[in-house]
Amino acid sequence: MKKLKNELALILEPFLKEYLSLEEIEETLELPKFAEQGDLAFPCFKLAKSMRKSPHIIAQELSQEISSDKFEVKNQGPYINFYINRQELAETILTEILSKKEDYGSSEEGQNRPVIIEYSSANISKELHFGHIRGIMIGSSLYKITKTLGYKAIAINHLGDYGINFGKIITAYKHWGDKEHIEKIGVRGLLELYLYFNKASAEDPSYMEEARRWFYKLEEDKDPEALELWKWFKDVSLKEYNRVYKLIGCTFDSYAGEAFYSDMMPDIRQELLEKDLIIEDDGAEIIDLSDENLPNVIVTTSQGSSLYITRDIAAAIYRKQEYDFYRNCYVVGSEQRLHFTQLKAILKKMGYDWWDQCEHIDHGLVMMETGKISSRDGDNIFLEEVIQTAIQKTRDSIEERNPELEDKDEIARQVGLGALAYRELSNSRVKDYTFNWDETISFEGETGPYLQYTNVRCQSLLTKGAYDESLGFDGSHLTEDSSKELLWELGLLPSILTSAFEKMEPALLSRYLMGVAKLFNKFYAQVSVIVDNKEEKNSKLALVKAVS
Q: Least distance (Å) from RNA to the CB of residue 252?
A: 17
Cross-strand bridge partners of residue 83: 72
Angle value at C-alpha 48, between 46 and 53, nearest 5 degrees: 165
Nearer to RNA, 95 or 301 (CB): 301
CA distance 154 to 326: 11
Tell me the closest approach of the beta carbon of residue 450 to RNA, in angstroms: 5
- Find the shortest distance in angstroms from Cβ 535 to RNA: 10
Select the residue interacting with RNA from 60, 107, 426, 533 (CB under 7 A). Answer: 426
What distance separates the 2 farthest-apart alpha carbons in the chain?
87
Q: How far apart are CA 437 and CA 386, in angstroms?
A: 9
Show contacts with RNA in window 258-277 (CB under 7 A).
Answer: 258
- Distance in angstroms (rounded) separating the CA atoms of residues 535 and 530: 8
Q: 163 exposed, middle or buried (CB, 10 Å; 0-12, 13-18, 19+)?
A: buried
Would you report the helix, strand and coil content of the chain in percent, each value rounded to 5? 60, 10, 25
Supply the minimum distance, in Å, between the C-beta of residue 294 and RNA. 8
Which residue of 68, 198, 389, 427 would you call a contact of RNA, by CB under 7 A? 427
Smallest separation (angstroms) from RNA to the CB of 8: 13
According to CB under 7 A, which one of 22, 195, 365, 492 is a site residue for RNA? 365
Pick one of 401, 404, 410, 466: the residue that binds RNA (CB under 7 A): 401
Please, which residue, 276 or 369, has the CB nearer to RNA?
369
Nearer to RNA, 318 or 443 (CB): 443
For residues 103 and 402, which CB has a smaller minimum distance to RNA in the complex?
A: 402
| Residue 111 vs 402, nearer CB to RNA | 402
CA distance 289 to 276: 13
Region binding RNA by CB under 7 A among candidate stretches 132-140, 223-231, 423-431, 487-495:
423-431
Please give the order of strands across the beta sheet that includes 327-333: 152-156, 114-118, 327-333, 358-363
- Residue closer to RNA by CB (options 247, 294) is 294
DSSP letter string over 92-103? HHHHHHHHHGGG
Segment 151 to 190, residues that bind RNA, using CB under 7 A: 160, 162-165
For residue 123, the 8-state DSSP code is B
Work out which of 234, 413, 511, 540 binds RNA, going by CB under 7 A.
511
- The CA distance from 97 to 540, in Å, is 6
Kindly tell me which residue out of 6, 107, 389, 397 binds RNA, with binding defined by CB under 7 A.
397
DSSP-derived 3-state class of residue 41: strand
Give the residue among 337, 284, 282, 290 at the shortest CA–CA distance from 310. Answer: 284
Tell me whether residue 33 or residue 108 sits nearer to RNA (CB atom): 33
396 sits near RNA (criterion: CB under 7 A): no
Provide the mask over 216-245, with x wherever binding to RNA is found by CB under 7 A and - wherever it is not: ------------------------------
Give the shortest CB-34-to-RNA separation in angstroms.
4
For 298, how many CA atoms within 13 A lie in the half-sphere containing its CB?
13
Closest CA to 384 of 248, 484, 509: 248
**Residue closer to RNA (CB basis): 210 or 258:** 258
Neighbours of 482 (CB within 10 A): 17
Of the candidates 80, 67, 96, the one whose C-alpha atom is nearest the C-alpha of residue 3 is: 96
Q: Minimum distance from CB of 247 to RNA (Å)? A: 19
- DSSP string of 247-260? HHT---SB---GGG
Find the part of the chain contacting RNA (CB under 7 A) among 26-34, 99-107, 236-244, 261-269: 26-34
Which span (9-17, 174-182, 263-271, 391-399) binds RNA, by CB under 7 A? 391-399
Interface map 302-341 toward RNA (x if CB under 7 A): xx-x-xx-------------------------xxxxxx--
Strands (E), 400-548: 433-434
Letters for 466-485 (x = contact with RNA by CB under 7 A, - = none) are --------------------
Among 133, 361, 415, 513, binds RNA (CB under 7 A): 415
Separation CA 130–CA 371 (nearest Å)? 13
Residue 498 within binding range of RNA, rule CB under 7 A: no
Q: How many residues bind RNA (CB under 7 A)?
A: 88
Residue 214 C-beta: closest distance to RNA, Å: 12
Among residues 433, 467, 474, 477, which is the contact residue for RNA, using CB under 7 A?
433
Using alpha carbons, list the distances in angstroms from residue 534 to 91, 268, 412, 492. Answer: 12, 63, 31, 20
Nearest CA to 314 out of 361, 363, 281, 352 is that of 352
Task: Name residues contacting RNA, limited to 113-132 (CB under 7 A).
Answer: 123
Contact yes or no for 432/364 (Cβ under 8 A): yes
Which lies closer to RNA via its Cβ, residue 4 or residue 153? 4
**Which residues within the stretch 33-52 sit at the binding site for RNA (CB under 7 A)?**
33-34, 36-38, 41, 43, 45-46
Q: Is 281 in the site for RNA (CB under 7 A)?
A: yes
Binding segment (CB under 7 A) for RNA, from list 128-136, 148-156, 231-239, 292-300: 292-300
Task: Show contacts with RNA in window 52-111 (CB under 7 A).
Answer: 76-77, 79, 81
Q: How far is CA 200 from CA 171, 175, 195, 205, 479, in A?
A: 11, 11, 9, 8, 73
Nearer to RNA, 152 or 484 (CB): 484
